[in-house]
Chain A
């Protein structure tokens, strides 16, 4: 049941709207409830081939040999693909934003790093024939030692999971084996605190379990193009990833999707698009590759596990004065998107509370399990579990009601967050108050009167002096316990504020009056008056070409460099790598 509380923050809104805010029926609802909506797998093609994978049965092994000769002769088999058939057989998803190093093959070549890793792809006239031929592929393996625990993986001497990152951690800023957050002096604050409370939390891996499993249908089209029916959560993300791996210009791929049977983050990885397109290119036939439920459950990249240590300094009056978090993302064998989540998690620390001294060290660790990926709440869900269980413990230690304890420590407008930006537009206090009221959980008059609009800023808006350290240098696990090396003065910021968004939304909630400068509008030109006597409009364009602008200087030719088909969107901070 949903109830709107319009009176709260009413003075910040103009509710005089026509259709925004109304519960009108979705345009796609009739199709969904009559089962006429078309998903990627609702497209039939003559001569469709079916693609099935031979996957690694081992968690970690060197591939000694692959023999596909019997499979190639099997009935119905049209083509067998190995790693050497993949044009660009090493990729990392975030290479599209220049973040991280290519570390994952589409089909394994020298070794397998997790159970279920794709090794060989079989294309056959029917699913049954592809599955039968799968049994005829002979792969010989030499087993390698495995590591499954994130903290074990980071110890010196642990088996190397992914040679691109030989320390079993993602490398941040080409300097550190983790992402740091430093705000104030947590050690000094722990020493002053009345209670210091530390606990370990473990988020489990989770399967996305979409109704529609991952899959793709790709078909050769006219003009050397390929039509691709995709279930991707990011259409161009998948298109550009595919263009890179099969090494074609992006406009040779025509992706169609947009209506997806559940994603929850599990359809960001382009698990099926590249191989399906490659199969269509190499056979000239339409190809369908869909994960079955067992593949989706076991090898369809889950929400990664996270191990989180939270240490808090608490005063008797209930104020939290310091928080330190050490956390490990279990990436599995390849990076996928875990490197991004660790930074998002760093931005989220210490949760929606105002704490004057905060630090965190967030690691991305490689283990011999199926690579994990984004899932609903990526980088946040697990740490929220840890923080809110910890908050319950702190309230008990301070002998306070947990609701009152949240309101006391809640961040408010004007407070400085540990990533050195001021909180605005906050509303945690009001949410806690309303939830308590509806649940009939009594709170004090003081807690009831609290507001996100007051009590923040001032001293709470200051950036404190902050000790810095060189702990955890890449390739030097011996540096993980070093001392502070310098103190950053109070008030220091080093990252420029973000520029204004390229377009700001309509703050007043009204359609823009037409005299507002129109966004990206072309220069105004007055068309010639309409006069059929002069010439029929079909023979004369209504608009005359504008007076020709001065020619732009011709930029010097860019030096030739090898470039794959994918477009690079932008570049991300200090880890720019090609």
Chain B
């Protein structure tokens, strides 16, 4: 009897581990995926008068990148963002918990890949987007629906395997 129990427990454990093989622990689903972007309106970082609103993310599939000048990993992905921008991918930025002068100095040094940047000094909009660390990158469909979220610096692999194909299919479906 005791034996049956111990074999049963052991079997359950093996089953659990086997089930675990099919899961991806790195994938953190964002509750925002599949929903429209949060509603926001922020001052534009570079253009002191301008505003940057959620409607700007409609019409064309785009990337929405959360960054800050104090974030070292953002520096690591900056080169990739510049490449993407040069290739014509629309990228919008959310400058998160930063100061205007340092953020502008950062872009002056590394180049500006963004079409428009929301300046979110207090991090309020970041909370709506569920940001818990920079950098984070969202893929937004032409309909303004969030399709994918990547946490941490972008890598060439993530771009070529996931993000770029997704952008293409989103634009393809819209046209």
A binds B: no
